[in-house]
Amino acid sequence: MFPFSFEWVWDAGHMVFHGGLWYALGIIGLGMTYCIGKAVLDTLEGKGGHHD
Amino acid sequence: MDSELIPRGVKRCPLGQFSLWIGIVGVVLLWGVYAMFLCWFKGLNQTNMNDSYGFALWIWADLAVIALGGGAFFTGFLRYIVGKDELKNIINYAVLIGFICYSSALLILAIDVGQPLRAWHIFWHANVHSMLTEVAFCLSCYFGVLTIEYIPLVLENRQIDKVPFFHNLGHNMHEIMAVFAATGAFLSFFHQGSLGGVAGVLFGRPFGYREGVLVWPWTFFLFTWSAAACGPCFTILITKITEVITGKKLVKDNVIDLLAKISGWMLATYIIAKIIDTWYWAVVTAPSMGFTLMEFYSNNPFYGIWILFLEIVLGGIVPAGILITQKGRSSSFALWTAVILAVIGVSVNRWVMVLQVMAVPVLPFETWPMYLPSWQEVATTILPVAYGIILIMLSHRYLPIFPQEQELNP
- The per-residue DSSP string of B234-266 comes to HHHHHHHHHHHHHTS--S-HHHHHHHHHHHHHH
User: In angstroms, what separates the C-alpha of B125 from chain A's closest C-alpha?
Assistant: 7
B357 burial level (CB within 10 Å; 0-12, 13-18, 19+): buried
Say if the Cβ atoms of B144 and A28 lie within 8 Å: yes
User: In angstroms, what separates the C-alpha of B309 from chain A's closest C-alpha?
Assistant: 37
User: In angstroms, what separates the C-alpha of B230 from chain A's closest C-alpha?
Assistant: 25
Q: Which residue of chain A comes nearest to B176, CA vs CA?
A: A31
Our measurement of the distance from residue A36's CA atom to the centroid of its chain's CA atoms, rounded to an integer in Å, reads: 12
Please choose, from the candidates B131, B105, B133, the residue with its C-alpha nearest in 3D space to the C-alpha of residue B120: B133
Say if the Cβ atoms of B128 and A16 lie within 8 Å: yes
Quickly count: other Cβ atoms within 10 Å of residue B104's Cβ: 23
Inter-residue contact B217 to B234 (CB < 8 Å): no
Our measurement of the distance from residue B261's CA atom to the centroid of its chain's CA atoms, rounded to an integer in Å, reads: 19
Residue B340 CA to residue A11 CA, distance in Å, equals: 46
Inter-residue contact B157 to B5 (CB < 8 Å): yes
Please choose, from the candidates B65, B78, B403, B63, the residue with its C-alpha nearest in 3D space to the C-alpha of residue B263: B78
Q: Does the pLDDT of residue A52 top 70, yes or no?
A: no
Q: Which residue of chain B comes nearest to A42, CA vs CA?
A: B168
Amino acid (one-letter) located at A15: M
* Binding-site residues on chain B for chain A (CB distance < 8 A): 123-126, 128-129, 133-134, 137-138, 141, 144-145, 148, 158, 161-162, 164-165, 167-169, 171-173, 176, 179-180, 183, 186-187, 190
Interface size A-B, in CB pairs within 8 Å, comes to 83
Residues of B in contact with A7 (CB under 8 A): 125
Amino acid (one-letter) located at B305: I
pLDDT recorded at residue A49: 67
Of B126, B172, B179, the CB nearest to A38: B172
Our measurement of the distance from residue B404's CA atom to the centroid of its chain's CA atoms, rounded to an integer in Å, reads: 25
Q: What predicted TM-score, i.e. pTM, was given to this entire model?
A: 0.93
Residue B195 CA to residue B11 CA, distance in Å, equals: 42
Say if the Cβ atoms of A48 and B141 lie within 8 Å: no
Residues of A in contact with B165 (CB under 8 A): 39-40, 43, 48
Residue B392: C-alpha distances to residues B118, B245, B260 (Å): 31, 12, 22
Strand ranges for B176-295 from DSSP E: 212-213, 216-217
Residue B222 CA to residue B192 CA, distance in Å, equals: 9
* Sequence-separated (6 or more) residues with CB below 8 Å from residue A38: B168, B172
Residue B59 CA to residue B62 CA, distance in Å, equals: 5
Residue B303 CA to residue B299 CA, distance in Å, equals: 9
Residue B349 CA to residue B351 CA, distance in Å, equals: 5
pLDDT along chain B (410 residues), means of 10: 86 93 96 94 90 88 92 90 90 94 91 83 87 86 92 92 93 91 88 89 89 88 94 95 94 94 96 95 92 88 91 96 94 95 96 90 86 94 95 95 89
Mean pLDDT of chain A: 87
Please choose, from the candidates B163, B160, B59, B146, the residue with its C-alpha nearest in 3D space to the C-alpha of residue B111: B59
Of A12 and B339, the structure prediction assigns the larger pLDDT to B339
pLDDT recorded at residue B280: 94
Q: Does the pLDDT of residue A50 top 60, yes or no?
A: no
- The DSSP code for B135 is H
Q: Which residue of chain B comes nearest to A34, CA vs CA?
A: B172
Q: Is B113 left (phi over 0), alpha (psi -120 to 50) or beta?
A: alpha
pLDDT recorded at residue B2: 83
Say if the Cβ atoms of B168 and A39 lie within 8 Å: yes
Helix (H, G, I), strand (E, B) or coil at B342: helix
B71 burial level (CB within 10 Å; 0-12, 13-18, 19+): buried
Say if the Cβ atoms of B169 and A36 lie within 8 Å: yes
pLDDT recorded at residue A51: 52
Q: Is A25 on the interface with B (CB under 8 A)?
A: yes
ipTM score here? 0.89
Best probe of the A interface among B137, B151, B168, by most A CBs < 10 A, is B168
User: In angstroms, what separates the C-alpha of A3 from chain B's closest C-alpha?
Assistant: 11
* Sequence-separated (6 or more) residues with CB below 8 Å from residue B253: none
Quickly count: other Cβ atoms within 10 Å of residue B4's Cβ: 7
Residue B102 CA to residue B70 CA, distance in Å, equals: 9
Q: Which residue of chain B comes nearest to A9, CA vs CA?
A: B128
Q: Is A30 on the interface with B (CB under 8 A)?
A: no
Say if the Cβ atoms of B171 and A48 lie within 8 Å: yes
Amino acid (one-letter) located at B173: M
Residues of B in contact with A20 (CB under 8 A): 134, 137-138, 190
pLDDT recorded at residue B368: 87
